[in-house]
Amino acid sequence: MNDPIKTAHERADSIFRGFLPAHGLAVRESQITLCHQMLDALFGGNILLCDAGTGIGKTYAYLVACVLWLQADRQGAPQPITISTASVALQDAILKEYLPFLSSVLLEWHIIEQPLRGVIRKGKERFVCDVRLAQRLEQISADTRPRTRAKLLQLLKTCDMDAVPGLSAFDRAHVCVPDLCRRDCPGRGRCRYQQYLKSARGMDITFQICNHNYLLADVGHRQRGFPPLLKDSRALVVDEAHKLPDAIRQMDTRCFSDAVGDELCALLADAQYTNTARRLSGDLSALWAAFGQGGGVSTPAGQNAAQSVQTPFAANVTQWAAPTAVVQELRQTIRHLAAGLPRQTVHRLEEAAATLELFRQGDKSHILYIERGPQNSVTLCAASRDPAAALAENLWPKGRPALLTSGTLAAGGSFVRTEQQLGLAGDARLRRCQAAAPFNYRHNCLLYLPTRPHLEAEAKYLAAEIEALVLACHGHALLLFTSYKLMDLVQRQLAGHLPFPAVQAWRGGQRTLELFKTMPNAVLFAAGPCWEGIDFPGDCVSLLIIPRLPFPVPDIISNAVKEQYPDLRAYIRAVVVPEMQRKLRQGFGRAVRLETGGDLV
């Protein structure tokens, strides 16, 4: 009898050394080695952390490994493999580029008998409700608002709103599938969203693709005994896995705001429980008054009034008692009215009561803080001190192998920080591998570290250094800042001094990035999202300037985490430096994207 693992390795060699190159795809030995390690993890039921540098081709590595493993492991009912990513761009590339190409190659060489099928899973707020779309079209006149109507008419051809660029947030909110999707809806029989769900759960789906938040939402549903969002899967692949800890922290933070309270009152009123809604509204008014809403609480010195301010929850006697009345009202409502309320409304009431109970008790397992926004709005926030531990059992269940890959999972050659953040420390199934990027950094890069005079203003000094470097490289420069404020100050200092076109990429500046790629010898001032997920291949960027190392900015959460370490040095070594190293690697990777690209300074 053939050894299935050996057979899978041999087929992987044939695919990467023969079939894919025959169709024009460049293949590297490091890619083949990575695929072999992934196969071993899948067959062994293990969890593999793969720190794979840019340019290796890790996407094809895990797709081939998964297909070959599914072929060999046919036990039980057919189940798909879940692929979770951090970006919409990668999801679309997997579905529209990687899978069709790989499927055609494997079909041609008789490795598979049926085409590989994939489906992107995402929240219902991204899909069209046909009933609400028809109502919205009746409200929009072709004469007075032709562009808006034209965008809405495109949704008659697709139920995925992401496929219609330029659709306003207002229209998306008014035509999307509602949270409470009625079973007695008159359009349910022909509903395109319901048809999409049925297709996504089909037996012929090989890969179900989602983002990290949707994956974690599915985990949360399973923990609470709700219907799962994703179909049960044979294995999990987490691409762009360095972003998963942030998603875990975000999903695990509970918030209760005045907007949430108003929504709960509205849901009760809509269900004809007006007296209950009125009592709850009164209790909520007392709650927000106890926290100073509308009381003229001043904005801290140097803080923009439009920005949010976070402060630790250190309540006085009144604030300790304030949530009690709201919690009691919510629980009484659930106890007496649950049978007459929609299930989703009951769930919202339960979540609100559980969140406020944390503040009422001063729960020590959570980081409790208050976020004050514009117009002195108040949000009570509770973040778990160990969010990954709460998810680990359902995110990494026994019997389901997992592949986690990114170019920056390791810091300083160690996976310790990643293992802690993902709840994997001490897991006996854990395996690790590292594959360096194929780029010849030693040959193509020159590292330049200037000596800074301490007496000069930072922005003025940086501007002088940057001007000299940009002139020496004739433009082709990417300036990555850790602060939008510093970026703007330096740009102002350089205004009129550079003989090359210069542009600034602010938040959401995708058009600016595309413009930069078309401008010869241009200089791009960037920060924020441009540290990762942006591709500047070839000679587009020959000069990368990072004015400051990207150390994480202290906040309420990090200050609470710091308390878990014996001293500041231990915290910096275990948390701050690894986080900085990972972000620095991400930023550096924006420029060197091709083995044949230009030199980088």
pLDDT in tens, 140-156: 877 678 888 999 999 99
CATH number at residue 331: 1.10.275
Answer yes or no: are the C-beta atoms of 240 and 65 closer than 8 Å: no
Domain identity same for 31 and 100: yes
584 or 538, greater pLDDT: 584
Selection from 10-19, 338-347, 357-366, 586-595 with the highest mean pLDDT: 10-19
Question: Strand runs (DSSP E) across 307-429, as ranges?
Answer: 309-312, 366-372, 378-384, 402-406
Domain identity same for 81 and 21: yes
Domain identity same for 378 and 265: yes
Domain identity same for 96 and 64: yes
> Within a domain: residue 594?
no
Phi, psi of 208 (to 5 degrees): -105, 125
Banded pLDDT at 293 (limits 50, 70, 90): low
Identify any residues that bridge with 502 across adjacent strands, giving them in sequence order.
523
Domain identity same for 241 and 93: yes
Among 207-216, 327-336, 516-525, which is the least confidently predicted range?
Answer: 516-525
Q: Which two tokens stand for residue 538?
A: 């070839």
pLDDT of 441 higher than 90? no
- Rounded CA-CA distance 245/34 in Å is 23
Identify any residues that bridge with 211 across adjacent strands, giving them in sequence order.
85
pLDDT of 454 higher than 70? no
Residue 232's identity, in one-letter code, is D
Among 284-298, 456-470, 502-516, which is the least confidently predicted range?
Answer: 284-298
Among 255-264, 535-544, 578-587, which is the least confidently predicted range?
Answer: 535-544
Confidence at residue 76, expressed as pLDDT on a 0 to 100 scale:
55
> Within a domain: residue 595?
no
Confidence at residue 597, expressed as pLDDT on a 0 to 100 scale:
46
Residue where a domain terminates, one of 400, 417, 435: 435
Confidence at residue 74, expressed as pLDDT on a 0 to 100 scale:
66
Domains in the chain, number:
4
Answer yes or no: are the C-beta atoms of 433 and 79 closer than 8 Å: no
Phi, psi of 414 (to 5 degrees): -120, 145
Domain identity same for 314 and 356: yes
pLDDT of 237 higher than 70? yes
Selection from 108-122, 143-157, 368-382 with the highest mean pLDDT: 108-122
Answer yes or no: are the C-beta atoms of 336 and 314 closer than 8 Å: no
- Rounded CA-CA distance 442/307 in Å is 43
Helix (H, G, I), strand (E, B) or coil at 176: strand
Domain identity same for 285 and 167: no
> Within a domain: residue 469?
yes
Banded pLDDT at 530 (limits 50, 70, 90): confident
pLDDT single digits (tens) 296-347? 344 444 445 456 788 888 766 666 677 888 999 999 999 999 888 888 889 8
Residue where a domain terminates, one of 435, 454, 473: 435
Domain identity same for 101 and 146: no
> Within a domain: residue 137?
yes
> Within a domain: residue 40?
yes
pLDDT of 238 higher than 70? yes
- What's the whole-number average pLDDT of the chain? 87
Residue % of the chain over a pLDDT of 70: 92
Alpha carbon separation from 83 to 211, 239, 490 (Å, rounded): 8, 7, 41
Confidence at residue 316, expressed as pLDDT on a 0 to 100 scale:
64
Helix (H, G, I), strand (E, B) or coil at 204: coil
Confidence at residue 303, expressed as pLDDT on a 0 to 100 scale:
47
Banded pLDDT at 600 (limits 50, 70, 90): low
Buried-exposed string 188-212: b where 16+ CB fall within 10 A, e elsewhere: eeebbbbebeeeeeeeebbbbbbbb
Helix (H, G, I), strand (E, B) or coil at 285: helix
CATH number at residue 580: 3.40.50.300
Identify any residues that bridge with 369 across adjacent strands, giving them in sequence order.
312, 381
Domain identity same for 486 and 508: yes
> Within a domain: residue 600?
no
315 or 62, greater pLDDT: 62
Domain identity same for 107 and 138: no
Domain identity same for 353 and 419: no
> Within a domain: residue 70?
yes
Confidence at residue 295, expressed as pLDDT on a 0 to 100 scale:
39
Q: Which domain holds residue 15?
A: 4-119+196-251+388-435
pLDDT single digits (tens) 13-55? 999 999 999 999 989 899 999 999 999 999 999 999 999 987 7
> Within a domain: residue 451?
yes
Domain identity same for 162 and 107: no
Q: Residue 534's closest CA among 467, 588, 601, 597?
A: 588
